[in-house]
């Protein structure tokens, strides 16, 4: 059985707002009985203020689908439609104290039902742009369709590339066989053969690259470059509801602060090594990236 949080169980066993709403102003239907989960979200909306005065749901689905629907209705009541649209699937999952990676799609379905309901209220047609494939990476809940699309769009060649672009394979590494299969299949479409050695050579190369000190660079120029690398990676982290800021630089040590979804994430170490790699390439010298709390004063710890 899944390791559901107590909040998920509470919302499953005692769902809130589970009923048909006959006089709904907005209806959002997503999913289908064939797929194994379907959700109807119904809203009562104040015509003047666009505030959601009441929300109800009916769900055909598993424990987490019912819990996600239930918590969503509670989250959006009292919000305006525009405020409600800012609720992400991550917000739904967080409000439930987390969902197993295999079950994240239940929170996605909740968000889609909300988008569909708002579109219905505004007389628009909501487009589902999201196709779901078989779950490949269980650590970071990345499915096959996502990996395939990313491989095609970015001409990826190696498992390492896939990890850098999608996170898939960055955790326990048990899915590397599955990622290799996808790479083999997608590369074959253009007549190319997947080469597992390319990946390994690249890994070795990056490890064995001798550190080249950044010669002739002023301190100011150096810190500006470090800042530029940080700015470059921020949008990617922010998409995952995280962020990074530069705290201090001391010799070859760069102190950064990871916040939001990044801190405590299994990926944190991978994120840090990615930033470190980019900085080394940009500066042409060896640096060590160390995560610290935001108020950390680097100089107090490292002198002496």
Size, binding site for other proteins by CB under 8 A: 42
Q: How far is the CB of 44 from other proteins (least distance, A)?
A: 18
Note whether 63 binds other proteins by CB under 8 A: yes
Q: Of 66 and 247, which has the nearer Cβ to other proteins?
A: 66
Least distance to other proteins from the beta carbon of 119, Å? Answer: 8
- Rounded Cα distance between 69 and 72, Å, is 5
Q: How far is the CB of 30 from other proteins (least distance, A)?
A: 5
Contact flag: residue 180 with other proteins (CB under 8 A) = no
Member of 5, 7, 16, 18 binding other proteins (CB under 8 A): 18
Q: Interface with other proteins includes 85 (CB under 8 A)?
A: no
**Is 165 near other proteins (CB under 8 A)?**
no
Q: Catalytic annotation on 62? A: no
In this structure, what token pair is assigned to residue 14?
Answer: 């005692």
Phi, psi of 190 (to 5 degrees): -105, 15
Contact with other proteins (CB under 8 A) among 10, 29, 50, 54? 29
The residue from 62, 106, 137, 265 that is catalytic is 106
Rounded to whole angstroms, the Cα distance separating 136 from 201 reads 24
**Contact yes or no for 275/229 (Cβ under 8 A):** yes
Residue 50 vs 181, nearer CB to other proteins: 181
Question: Does 15 engage in binding with other proteins (CB under 8 A)?
Answer: yes
Residue 139 bears catalytic tag: no
Degrees, nearest 5: CA angle 271-263-245: 70
Residue selected from 3, 22, 33, 264 as contacting other proteins according to rule CB under 8 A: 33
Interacting positions 99-138 with other proteins (CB under 8 A):
100, 102-103, 116, 119-120, 125-128, 132-135, 138
Q: Is 66 in the site for other proteins (CB under 8 A)?
A: yes
CA distance 85 to 113: 11
The percent helix, strand, coil of the chain (3-state, each to 5) is: 45, 20, 35
Residues paired with 39 in a beta bridge: 30, 59
Element (H, E) at 59: strand 52-60
Work out which of 65, 72, 142, 254 binds other proteins, going by CB under 8 A.
Answer: 65
Q: Is 37 in the site for other proteins (CB under 8 A)?
A: yes
**Strand partners for 80:** 51
**Strand duo 253-260 + 242-250: pairing:** antiparallel
Six-digit token string for 34: 């064939």
Give the relative orientation of helices 6-13 and 63-76 as an angle to the nearest 10 degrees.
90
Catalytic residues: 35, 106
Applying CB under 8 A, the residues found at the interface with other proteins are 1, 9, 12-13, 15, 18, 29-40, 58-66, 100, 102-103, 116, 119-120, 125-128, 132-135, 138
């Amino acid at each position: 059985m899944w390791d559901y949080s107590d909040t998920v169980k509470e919302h499953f066993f005692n769902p809130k707002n589970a009923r048909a709403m006959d006089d709904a102003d907005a209806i959002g239907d997503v999913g289908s009985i064939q797929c194994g989960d379907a959700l109807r979200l119904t809203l009562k909306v104040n015509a003047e203020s666009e505030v959601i005065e009441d929300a109800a749901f009916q769900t055909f689905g598993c424990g987490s689908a019912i819990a996600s629907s239930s918590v969503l209705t509670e989250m959006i009541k009292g919000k305006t439609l525009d405020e409600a649209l800012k609720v992400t699937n991550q917000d739904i999952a967080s409000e439930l104290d987390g969902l197993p990676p295999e079950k994240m799609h239940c929170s996605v379905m909740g968000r889609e039902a909300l988008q569909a309901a708002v579109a219905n209220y505004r007389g628009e047609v909501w487009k589902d742009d999201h196709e779901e494939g078989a779950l490949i990476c269980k650590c970071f809940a990345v499915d096959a369709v996502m990996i395939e699309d990313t491989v095609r769009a970015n001409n990826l060649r190696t498992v390492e590339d896939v990890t850098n672009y999608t996170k898939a394979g960055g955790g326990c590494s048990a899915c590397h066989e599955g990622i290799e299969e996808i790479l083999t299949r997608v590369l074959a479409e253009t007549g190319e053969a997947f080469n597992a050695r390319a990946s390994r050579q690249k890994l070795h190369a990056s490890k064995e690259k001798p550190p080249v000190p950044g010669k002739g660079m002023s301190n100011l120029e150096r810190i500006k470059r470090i800042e530029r690398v940080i700015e470059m990676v921020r949008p990617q982290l922010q998409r995952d509801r995280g962020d990074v800021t530069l705290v201090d630089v001391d010799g070859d040590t760069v102190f950064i602060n990871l916040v939001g979804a990044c801190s405590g994430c299994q990926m944190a170490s991978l994120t840090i090594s990615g930033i470190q790699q980019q900085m080394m390439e940009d500066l042409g010298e060896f640096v060590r990236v160390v995560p610290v709390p935001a108020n950390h004063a680097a100089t107090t710890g490292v002198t002496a």
